[in-house]
Amino acid sequence: MIASKAYAKINIGLKIVGKRDDGYHDIETTLATVNLSDSITFEQTKQGISVESQGLEIPLEDNLCYRTADLFMHEHGIAKGVRMRLIKNIPVGGGLGGGSSDAACVLKGLRRLYNIKTSDEELMALCREIGTDVPFFIKGGAAYARGRGDMLTYFKLPRMSLIIYYPGYPISTEWAYKEHDNSILTREPTLDKISEEGKKKKKKGVSFDLNNDFEKVVLKKHPDLLDVKTNLVACGILCVSLSGSGSCLFALVDDRTKQKAVRYLEGIGAQFFEVKTIH
């Protein structure tokens, strides 16, 4: 039996470039893994695929770990079976890539379990049949993503401390894209004010475009997220952003702003995670 971790990611900025002929969207975003993770154990069996999932109740045929294992085992002609135990810690529908990371973890875990000689690049090619976010998680770390999110340029990112806020509900990525496509994107005064406050201040280190195109529709639909973002900015935090299509917000913090943010979030009874980026 072997055990592996499936790490969450954040999106540092996200630009929706346009809609493709295949129905997907071209995007530009920076992806970075953080040390919030699900865990999966793998055990060989005589035949069949089983998934025990703590914290995730969905039909087996819809379980991404099951579908990924089935694809891998057919691809490599594996006649034996596997029993997987998944413990969910990454919020579902939070924009943190938990499902995609689980799928990548299954591919890497089965490679180890059955000692299959296949490269990361070959796993990444296989990933494209599972989901557009999955290839990134084969290597993890930090990458600039283009196209559907699967054209990746990896780079070294300095270690950053963050707080991730989860509002307690998921947001559908499919809904967010539809809302974006159907919206006339006008400038929202409240959001602009928050953005301008950050631009007035300079911060040394790596510079990114921090704008997330999903915020226009997501924060309009969920004003509670806008309220939390506004209050975190008031704590002196320069970067507070939606991750992916949400529902999670992340805040880039130092020791001083971290204390203020934790005090505020604890005061409203929020669910949040104190994390760091990982290489």
Beta-carbon count within 10 A of 218 CB = 24
Please, are residues 49 and 65 in contact by the beta-carbon 8 Å criterion?
A: no
pTM of the model: 0.88
The overall average pLDDT reported for the chain is: 89
Q: Which fold has domain 161-276?
A: Alpha-Beta Plaits (3.30.70)
DSSP string for residues in 208-272: ----BTTHHHHHHH-HHHHHHHHHHHHTT-SEEEE-TTSS-EEEEE-HHHHHHHHHHHHHTT-EE
What count of Cα atoms within 13 Å lies in the side-chain half-sphere of residue 24?
A: 11
Show me where the domains of the chain are located: 2-154, 161-276
pLDDT of residue 55: 62
Q: For residues 141 and 117, what is the distance between their CA atoms, to the nearest angstrom?
A: 23
Q: Cα angle at 210 between 207 and 211, to 5 degrees?
A: 150
Residue 164: enclosing H or E segment and its boundaries? strand 161-166
What does each C-alpha distance from 203 to 33, 232, 270 come to in angstroms? 22, 17, 28
pLDDT of residue 32: 97
pLDDT band at residue 208 using 50, 70 and 90 as cut-offs:
low
CA 161, 208, 256, 94 torsion: positive or negative?
negative
pLDDT value at 188 more than 70: no
Active site residues: 9, 133
Burial state string for 154-188 with b = 16 or more CB within 10 A and e = fewer than 16: eeebeebbbbbbbbeebbeeeebbebbeeeeeeee
pLDDT digit string, tens, across residues 18-38: 888 887 899 999 999 999 999
pLDDT digit string, tens, across residues 112-131: 999 999 999 999 999 887 88
What does each C-alpha distance from 45 to 42, 78, 84, 234, 275 come to in angstroms? 10, 11, 10, 54, 36
Q: Determine the straight-line distance between the first and last CA of the chain, rounded to whole angstroms.
A: 26
pLDDT of residue 19: 86
User: What CATH number should be reported for the domain whose range is 2-154?
Assistant: 3.30.230.10
